Amino acid sequence: MALSRHAVVTGAGRGIGAAIARALARQGHRVTLMGRTAPALESLQADLPGEGHGVALLDVTDASSVAQAFARAREALGPVSILVNNAGQAESAPFAKTDAALWQRMLAVNLTGTYLCTQAALPDLLGAGWGRIVNVASTAGLRGYAYVTAYTAAKHGVVGLTRALALELAKKGVTVNAVCPGYTETDLLRQSIEGIVAKTGRSEAQARAELAAGNPQGRLVQPEEVADAVAWLCREEAAAITGQAISVSGGEVM
């Protein structure tokens, strides 16, 4: 049976993050759910299989908040062995209307947040000589998408960080990988669909079909499919997999 380790999942309150937390709990790990909304995190905590799970509120863009959250998690459940950087946000705008504030928001949440949380967890992983870091990026980290230049740039940064850090840690028992979902059935996607409807006048069904058409399988990815890929990368047997950016997109990116 796999060892029970302490796993931290950021942005765990819903969607892909919640699915990842469930998958890791099913593997027998103790999971600290991190995010900004206590009710959602506490509800998920009560629903997770197994025992010994925790909740820590944080803002991934704030270094002090991150440090405090990881200190609480460590005090409650011990050193961190698995870190899943899932917290993220997507905003769309034509490049000409992408102001500095939007640009900084996308970098802060998607890229700097990944950096800060990794900095906070890494001493535990190095101290144990074993660890797993999985960054939830996006197919936007592997290709370009119009009207989301700031988000795309940030996710490319996450993939670059993944590859560089994987090389630094390759001989230290710590793997670093990225999982890159295509359009996935989440609240975030539903917000994107609402934006398309509002801006273009298309129906919700038309907007959904347009997004699904980019997937060669002709469908939206499910959160559980992303979670399964993350859980696999966190297994003992995945020790030889590092520095990879794995597309979970039905073949959209090959």
Tell me how far CA of residue 229 lies from CA of 99, 120, 242, in angstroms: 35, 24, 13
- Distant-in-sequence, close-in-space partners of 16: CB < 8 Å, separation ≥ 6: 86, 136, 181, 184, 186, 223, 226, 227
The class level of CATH for 6-182+222-245 reads alpha beta
Structure letter (DSSP) for residue 237: G
Annotated catalytic residue within 115, 145, 147, 151 = 151
How confident is the model over 229-252, as pLDDT tens digits? Answer: 999 999 999 999 999 999 999 999
Residues (pLDDT < 50) of the chain are 1
SS3 157: helix
Q: Do 79 and 30 meet the contact criterion of CB atoms below 8 Å apart?
A: no
- Does the annotation mark 145 as catalytic? no
CA 174 vs. chain centroid, Å, equals: 18
The span from the CA of 26 to the CA of 123, in Å, is 26
The sign of the torsion formed by the CA atoms of 38, 43, 47, 52 equals positive
Pair of tokens at residue 50:
């197994």
DSSP 8-state assignment for residue 109: I
Q: Are 173 and 133 in contact (CB under 8 A)?
A: no
Q: Where are the domains of the chain?
A: 6-182+222-245, 185-220
- 93: Cβ contacts below 8 Å, ≥ 6 apart: 102, 147, 150
pLDDT single digits (tens) 153-167: 999 999 999 999 999
